[in-house]
């Protein structure tokens, strides 16, 4: 499995006041697997060998953000738990869009332009 994020990155992103529990490694593993699969499905040819590093810092950060989202949502039914005033609750868009942008998924990989066709390659003939 690729190693685009790890517990140290997750801890650094969440801050020193957060104590990671036993499920943190599961979140990291799931984020690594999901990010690699989604990039492969989008057409990227990333190194999929064990412990392969991220193709770039944006992909590593997107994978870490996804691990954070998984860790925060581990015991909730909808989004991550919050203690905000419920009377003024307004659902937010979440970070899924940003994660997808950082990973480069949700858009097609740029293909090479089609080969030029010769003007004499095919001519339409009208009539008999």
Is residue 57, in this structure, part of any structural domain at all? yes
* Token couple for 70: 């998984």
For residue 76, pLDDT beyond 90: no
Task: Please name which of 27, 32, 22, 31 lies closest in space to residue 1, comparing C-alpha atoms.
Answer: 32
Is residue 113, in this structure, part of any structural domain at all? no
Cα 126 from chain centre: 53
How confident is the model at residue 74, as a pLDDT?
78
Q: Kindly indicate the confidence band of residue 126, based on its pLDDT and cuts at 50, 70 and 90.
A: low
Is residue 124, in this structure, part of any structural domain at all? no
Is residue 19, in this structure, part of any structural domain at all? yes
Higher pLDDT, 35 or 104: 35
Instruction: Write the pLDDT tens digit of every residue in 40-74.
Output: 988 899 998 989 999 999 999 999 999 999 888 87
Asked if 47 and 3 count as a contact pair (C-beta separation under 8 A), the reply is no
Instruction: Write the pLDDT tens digit of every residue in 10-41.
Output: 999 999 999 998 889 999 999 999 999 999 98
Expressed as residue numbers, the domain containing 32 is 7-77+92-103
Is residue 15, in this structure, part of any structural domain at all? yes
For residue 107, pLDDT beyond 70: no
How confident is the model at residue 102, as a pLDDT?
75
User: For the chain, how many structural domains are there in total?
Assistant: 1
Instruction: Write the pLDDT tens digit of every residue in 80-98.
Output: 555 555 555 555 556 677 7
Is residue 128, in this structure, part of any structural domain at all? no
């Amino acid at each position: 499995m690729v190693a685009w994020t790890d517990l140290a990155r997750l801890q650094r992103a969440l801050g020193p006041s957060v104590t990671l529990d036993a499920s943190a490694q599961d979140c990291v593993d799931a984020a690594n697997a999901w990010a690699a699969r989604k990039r492969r499905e989008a057409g990227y040819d990333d190194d999929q060998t064990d412990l392969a590093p991220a193709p770039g810092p944006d992909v590593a950060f997107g994978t870490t953000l996804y691990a954070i989202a998984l860790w925060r949502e581990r015991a909730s039914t909808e989004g991550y738990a919050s203690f905000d005033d419920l009377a003024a609750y307004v659902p937010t868009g979440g970070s899924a869009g940003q994660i997808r942008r950082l990973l480069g998924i949700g858009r097609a990989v740029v293909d090479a332009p089609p080969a030029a066709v010769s003007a004499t390659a095919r001519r339409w003939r009208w009539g008999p």
